[in-house]
Copies of this chain bind each other. A is one copy, B any other.
Amino acid sequence: MIIGLVGFGKVSQNLVRFIQSENITFITSAQNRSSKTAENIKMSNVEILDDFKQVALKSDILISANSPGSALDVAEKYGRYVRGIYVDLNNISPDTTFKISEYVENLVDGAIIGKIDSKKPLLYLSGEKSDELLFLNDYIETVKVSDRIGDASILKLLRSTYTKTVSALLIESYGLAEKYGLGEEFFNTLNITEGNDFAEKSLSRIHNTLKSKKRKSEELEEIINYFDGEDLIMVKAAFEKLSR
């Protein structure tokens, strides 16, 4: 089986690392890529073709893993050449996924939950063709969400709705507890019901959120925009909290 990669950033590099099998060959191209990316490709166990059109034509599965901004462009340019399955793994909104489906047959909507270079990343798939990708479970935990294109992306947003808003709440409530000199006690009393690792997990959430406050608040804004019209009081408050 031949898996083609359009884009060779973190996602592709880690997929190549996870998915090691005699029966699978990865192909990609260095066409229009930075010299650093070209270097990364050379150091990986990946065949290099002249251009992405060739990659698309030869792939049983073509994976698009680029910047969110170029996801639609890639689909428009190379989608038509794919005879097998086209998997979009870009961190894009469900709306963009729907647009991509206009250019691509056999589309699978993919979303990576957690960081791809973490110990246990998770691959969410949706769309009818997802079944044919479940063999990936041998290499990376893979879950089929549903037959509907968009559901994997929507689920990723829904997950963020909870986790990013909880982070904003933790910043607020732990900050308040600290003001009263009861930060440690605050976590101790919550550990009882929230699980033994609550303090550790929460401090790491607070830290990560404050470290990339701007990006997190932009992600919350995307969620609010996508679910426009829904009554998202809590998410909007989290956005406000992180935008300050």
Contact = CB atoms under 8 A, between A and B. Distances in A.
Interface of A: 113-114, 120, 122, 124, 143, 145-146, 151, 154-155, 158-159, 161-163, 165-166, 168-170, 172-173, 176-177, 179-182, 185-186, 188-190, 192-193, 195, 201, 227, 230-238, 240-241
A186 B159 contact: yes
Contacts of A170: 162
Contact of A182 (B113, B145, B189, B201): B145
Given A155-B186, A172-B231, A172-B232, 14 more contacts: A122-B189, A154-B182, A155-B185, A158-B173, A162-B186, A163-B193, A165-B169, A165-B234, A168-B233, A172-B233, A176-B227, A176-B230, A233-B237, A233-B241
Contact of A234 (B151, B180, B190, B234): B234
Contacts of A240: 233
A186 B154 CA distance: 10
A232 B176 contact: yes
B237 A236 contact: yes
Contacts of A181: 146
B158 A162 contact: no
B158 A177 contact: yes
Nearest to A202: B162
A155 B189 contact: yes
25 contacts: A113-B192, A114-B192, A122-B192, A143-B188, A145-B185, A146-B181, A146-B185, A151-B180, A151-B182, A154-B182, A158-B173, A158-B176, A158-B182, A159-B190, A162-B169, A163-B193, A166-B166, A166-B169, A168-B233, A169-B234, A172-B232, A176-B227, A193-B201, A195-B195, A237-B237
Contacts of A173: 158, 161-162, 165, 234-235
A158 B186 CA distance: 7
A222 to B, nearest CB: 14
Nearest to A230: B176
Contacts of A192: 113-114, 120, 122
